[in-house]
Amino acid sequence: MNPLVNVAPDTSPQHDSARQKDSQKAGARVGLTADSITINGGKPLTGTIAVRGAKNLATKAMVAALLGETPSLLKDVPDISDVQVVRGLLEVYGVKVTTGARGEWTFDTGKVESAHFAEIDAHAGASRIPILFCGPLLHRLGEARIPDLGGCRIGDRPIDFHLDALRKFGAVVDKTYEGINLTAPNGLKGALIELPYPSVGATEQVLLTAVRAQGITELKNAAIEPEIMDLIAILQKMGAIISVEPNRVILIEGVDRLEGYTHRALFDRNEVASWASAALVTKGDIFVQGARQTEMMTFLNVYRKVGGAFDIQEDGIRFWHPGGDLKPVTIETDVHPGFMTDWQQPLIVALTQAHGVSVVHETVYENRFGFSEALNEMGADIVVHKEGLPGYPRRVARRDFEQAAIITGPTKLHGANIYVPDLRGGFSHLIAALSAEGQSVISNMGIISRGYEHIIDKLEALGADFVYEG
């Protein structure tokens, strides 16, 4: 029995344009339901796709606009449902959002006002981004109301680091049955904060709160992913004073006023890694326009070890399967500059085709191999060990919920009916179906539209063989 079948579909009330478009296209093609597609596998993906701004930067940059007294312009905003969720929330708080050509969005924050919980909840959707509104709303309104969060089911996804940090700034956190209410009766003051783990979200929480707090904030054990550095660049453009010290320490001097910014979002590293893996799995050749080497170096090293070929060009990176056997590897996911946890799912599909035994040790989330069930039903041989691998000195202290997947290949994948469990796992199912022998039906495609812009169009442009209606 495929355990994925019980995963509740992402039925968040706000239907974003991206999701609707992709679903309508999907429905038009195969007619099964608007949220599922049918694919004939075995065709290599070849051609060019343009990667847009990073889902995990653009959404935070939109929240940062709330801190500016004047309008902001963000370029390369991806047309994905996570972005639509943040747009809905900003508009609930009175921000005027306008979308221009080629993903250029403007945010006019001249009139920011309180919102009712029901309105906030209606727009929060299956996203974790609402928690990042705390600092900006406390600065602008003196209060913040955050509903319970969504996000991919890849672990417990707690927010204790966020709430502990906000309390250190002087916020009063009141948990209610609807979510959390925050106030700052004495304003927000700079604080000394040390994160128990270099959490991306908690680092963003501290940055978005500290920039307008009174005094200096020292953040220790911070995340320093490229998306964090891009958010720091945006905040600096707005007037913030932030320095990134050695040893993951970030210093922020609070200022009295921030202006709007103009910024082109960093490209989406996770999307690049996904398409690179797709080229390998389908024995294809994909040029990813907009991909840059610097932020992808760790991935490129592993890609080369597996046997993938890539060519760094000025305006992107070409990824292809050069022929020959793929080789097994041992990977441990880590914080930047390690191998990102978001990269392991699509690459594991390629490892099912490698000649030998690969090991992927997941150290960031406690349930990030859920997608392997469907791959095993398609013929893969993936064994997930709940206890992870024996500890040895590492960048980040070992935590007791790590896991390891043992992938034995090569295995022949055959088509199956698949229910997509989460965003990155869903992309893995897609590329497995594209490379499998026979037909696959993939449902709950809406989750994939959360993070991959116009996924159906891009797959079709690369030669994916969809089964058409009628």
CA 201 to chain centre: 11
According to the binding rule CB under 6 A, does residue 128 interact with ligand EPZ? yes
111 class by beta-carbon count within 10 Å (0-12 exposed, 13-18 middle, 19+ buried): exposed
Residue in 93, 107, 133, 161 binding ligand EPZ, rule: CB under 6 A: 161
| Contact pick of 113, 160, 174, 325 for ligand EPZ (by CB under 6 A) | 160
The pair of structure tokens assigned to 231 is: 């958010």
**Interaction mask 209-248, ligand EPZ, x per CB under 6 A:** --------------x-------------------------
Out of 81, 217, 274, 341, point to the residue binding ligand EPZ (CB under 6 A): 341
Q: How far is the CB of 205 from ligand EPZ (least distance, A)?
A: 8
Q: Which is nearer to ligand EPZ, 285 or 422 (CB)?
A: 422
Considering the rule CB under 6 A, would residue 197 count as an interface residue with ligand EPZ?
Answer: yes
Contact (Cβ atoms closer than 8 angstroms) between residue 439 and residue 468: no
Give the range of 110-118, 135-143, 210-218, 338-346 binding ligand EPZ by CB under 6 A. 338-346
Q: For residue 33, give the nearest of 421, 417, 426 by alpha carbon.
A: 417
Nearest-approach distance from CB 388 to ligand EPZ, in angstroms: 13
Cα(456)–Cα(430) distance, rounded to whole angstroms? 10
Interacting residue with ligand EPZ among 9, 142, 155, 356 (CB under 6 A): 155
Determine the 3-state secondary structure of 79 from DSSP: coil
Q: How far apart are CA 152 and CA 280, in angstroms?
A: 25
Strand ranges for 51-120 from DSSP E? 72-75, 96-99, 105-108
User: Mask 37-76, x = binds ligand EPZ (CB under 6 A)?
Assistant: ------------------xx--------------------
Query: What is the C-alpha radius of gyration for the chain, rounded to an integer number of angstroms?
Result: 22
For ligand EPZ, the closer CB: 160 or 325: 160
Contact 129, 103 (CB under 8 A): no
Of the residues 270, 353, 358, 435, which one makes contact with ligand EPZ according to CB under 6 A: 270
Among 66, 146, 375, 423, binds ligand EPZ (CB under 6 A): 423
Q: How far is the CB of 165 from ligand EPZ (least distance, A)?
A: 9
Q: Looking at this protein, which amino acid is placed at residue 92?
A: V
Neighbouring CB atoms inside 10 A of 395's CB total 13
